[in-house]
Amino acid sequence: MLLRSFFIATLMATASQAMAQPAYAPDIQKEQLGRGMTCLREGDSLVVSWRLLESDDKDISFHVYQDGQRLNTAPIQDATFFKAPAPQRDVQMEVRMVKDGQESAMPHCTKTLKADAKDYLAIPLSKPADGVTPDGRRYTYSANDASVGDVDGDGEYEIILKWDPSNAHDNSHEGYTGNVYIDCYKTTGEHLWRIDLGKNIRAGAHYTQFLVYDFDGNGRAELIVKTADGTVDGTGQVIGDAQANWVMDGNIPKQISGKMEGKTTHVVGRILQGPEYLTVFDGLTGKALQTVDYQPPRGNVSDWGDNYGNRCDRFLAAVAYLDGKKPSAVMCRGYYTKSYLAAYDWDGTNLTLRWLFDSQKEKGYSGQGNHNLRVGDVDGDGCDEITYGSMAVDHDGTGLYTTRMGHGDAIHQFAFYPDSTQLQIWDVHENKKDGSDFRDARTGRIIFQIPSKEDVGRGMAADIDPTNYGLEMWSSSQRGYFDVKGNLHAPQAWIPMNSAVWWDGDLLRELLDRNAIQKWNWTTQKADMMKDFRTEDCTFNNGTKQNPCLSADILGDWREEVVVRNQQSTELRIYSTPHSTSYRFPSFMSDTPYRISVATENVGYNQPPEPGFYFGSDKMPNR
């Protein structure tokens, strides 16, 4: 499919020019990534892909070898991707760097391609055993949200996976749930550890928001997550009181009855008393390194807006470079009424509170949170801000702005305009009034708004149509999509809107939703199927949200991988694109806003990762 004439191979630039964004500190802490080489089979084809690194010279090229024999005739310079006929035997594949026509003496990357290799990387899973609730109901487990981190410092990512029981509940529902588990796997299939969050952490999309990142700069990622009495770390050590049981059986204990004003019967399985903790775990071993009290505590349950714990247990989390140099963990509580954001720093020994934002102390900031959030330097000061739904919190923990449009289920933060490094927001709302708004991420100024009398439950933004300037945006309130000027296109079309992925070889983004990757065809005004995961015994997660375990640029070139579970949750599969491309860029993971959004992708209602610069069909240079 041909795009417009600006897709020309002679359009060249350095990575810094291609990825223009507000400047963080020159010595900002970042991961040291390796090549991330992948070798897969797609039908009769061998597919090899590898990372371009930020540190690579712009004129670097590559050679691809099979069992010591070079496959390419000329150095590969316009992509970090190679496709050739696949041999019917095990072979050793190798990618070598070329500089000034000479192969580099630097270490090369190698992978063994098995004769039975498929079009995905398979990771066998250790599925938790079934369980039975106190009221005698059996439940099973399925692989749910995932994240990535380099836990051993080798420059390649490991997978951190959350296991959800089949009786996981939304906060609005009562009922017992099984324990939540968090596992760590190498992409080779090795199971490194399992953390059991214990009976005093309830299972559901809004309870366990886990962050995987190298917070202390030692080259290895940590895990930070909310814990409780009875949590068992990866080495078998128990946090808090191993015998404590704070799960309610329908009777309201006298010690908390005064904190739950009004009569309620919706408490079975809820946890509305007992201590709450925040724990840092070692990423390599799963060992608990430090545990502190969770901030803020739940306090009086009814102070959050109901008397059965629905609103007090709404949690979010994020990674943010609040000083422009080092990452902090931001743990959040509440969004329907009052909201708190607590920023923590981890130095390898101590977890210290940097600041605590209280929405009640600044007018118009309560009740503005979403089921998700975005992080990035929206005001150009070199430090990250947190866009918390309809409000934003500055890097120092003070309010930046509020639109007062209230709660929503989806939010996107990009540079929507090709000729600007400023960030914009596309946000949707539940209040049956404000609909969707497109706004300036720095000030909250509304660029345009699509009011609606509906609960706008979904919204998406991506460049899917090259005939428009900039990105497109759409929502569940109506058919079609809007350009950055507010013009409506394809008014009869219904477009998938849960997520998106860079999958094929052009610079447009594809639609990732309901067990499939689809390509928007702006000519026919329909979404064309590219890959249906259901035909491969795979399935997506989280009900109507229908998202994979993870989608992100974790392996190979700049395109994104899709991490899904098989139907039985006995195997995790990392699918990487088989499509050729004539573009190459440094890994998206080298862009700090994108890396942060991958770290928060599992939070609340999953949103696709998004970079801090414009990426699309307009004026996007190759490297």
Tens of pLDDT, residue by residue over 250-268, are 988 888 888 888 888 889 9
The predicted model gives 376-387 an average pLDDT of 96
Residue 61 has pLDDT above 90, yes or no: yes
Residue 514 has pLDDT above 60, yes or no: yes
Calpha distance 477→488 (Å, rounded): 13
CB atoms within 10 A of CB 5: 6
Residue 18 has pLDDT above 80, yes or no: no
Residue 348 has pLDDT above 90, yes or no: yes
Q: How big is the chain, counted in residues?
A: 623
The predicted model gives 570-575 an average pLDDT of 98
- Cis geometry, peptide bond prior to residue 253 (ω within 30 degrees of 0): no
For the chain, first and last CA: distance in Å?
22
CB 181 within 8 A of CB 210: no
3 state DSSP class of 598? helix
Residue 6 has pLDDT above 60, yes or no: no
The predicted model gives 123-139 an average pLDDT of 97
Please tell me which residue, 152 or 88, carries the higher pLDDT value: 152
The strand ranges marked E within 263-410 are 277-282, 288-293, 315-320, 328-333, 340-346, 351-358, 374-376, 385-388, 391-393, 399-402
Residue 455 has pLDDT above 90, yes or no: yes
pLDDT band (50, 70, 90) for residue 141: very high
pLDDT in tens, 82-121: 999 999 999 999 999 999 889 987 778 999 999 999 999 9
Q: How far is CA 594 from CA 27, 149, 571, in A?
A: 18, 14, 27
Q: Give the model's pLDDT for residue 622.
A: 58
Q: Give the model's pLDDT for residue 134.
A: 96
Identify residue 91 by its one-letter amino acid code.
V
CB 573 within 8 A of CB 562: no
* 567-576 as b/e: b if 16+ CB within 10 A: eebebbbbbb
The strand ranges marked E within 389-509 are 391-393, 399-402, 411-414, 424-428, 436-440, 446-450, 459-462, 472-475, 481-482, 488-489, 500-501
Of the chain, the percentage scoring pLDDT greater than 70 comes to: 96
Q: Give the model's pLDDT for residue 143.
A: 98
pTM of structure = 0.95
pLDDT in tens, 183-201: 999 999 999 999 999 999 9
Of the chain, the percentage scoring pLDDT greater than 90 comes to: 89
Q: Give the model's pLDDT for residue 15.
A: 33
Tokens of 182: 């968090």
CA angle 587, 98, 148 (to 5 degrees): 25
Residue 420 has pLDDT above 90, yes or no: no
Calpha distance 482→399 (Å, rounded): 30
Identify residue 206 by its one-letter amino acid code.
H
Which of 164, 170, 159 lies closest to 142 in space, CA to CA? 164
Q: How far is CA 50 from CA 1, 34, 66, 323, in A?
A: 25, 9, 15, 32
pLDDT band (50, 70, 90) for residue 482: very high
Residue 157 has pLDDT above 70, yes or no: yes
Which of 208, 211, 190, 212 lies closest to 198 in space, CA to CA? 208
Which of 429, 427, 324 lies closest to 379 in space, CA to CA? 324
pLDDT band (50, 70, 90) for residue 323: very high
The predicted model gives 349-377 an average pLDDT of 97
pLDDT band (50, 70, 90) for residue 623: low
Residue 450 has pLDDT above 90, yes or no: yes
Q: Give the model's pLDDT for residue 261.
A: 85
Q: Give the model's pLDDT for residue 1.
A: 29
Q: Give the model's pLDDT for residue 5.
A: 27
Calpha distance 377→372 (Å, rounded): 17
Residue 34 has pLDDT above 50, yes or no: yes
pLDDT band (50, 70, 90) for residue 620: low
The strand ranges marked E within 417-487 are 424-428, 436-440, 446-450, 459-462, 472-475, 481-482
Q: Give the model's pLDDT for residue 310.
A: 95
What strands, in cross-sheet order, belong to the sheet with 385-388?
374-376, 385-388, 391-393, 399-402
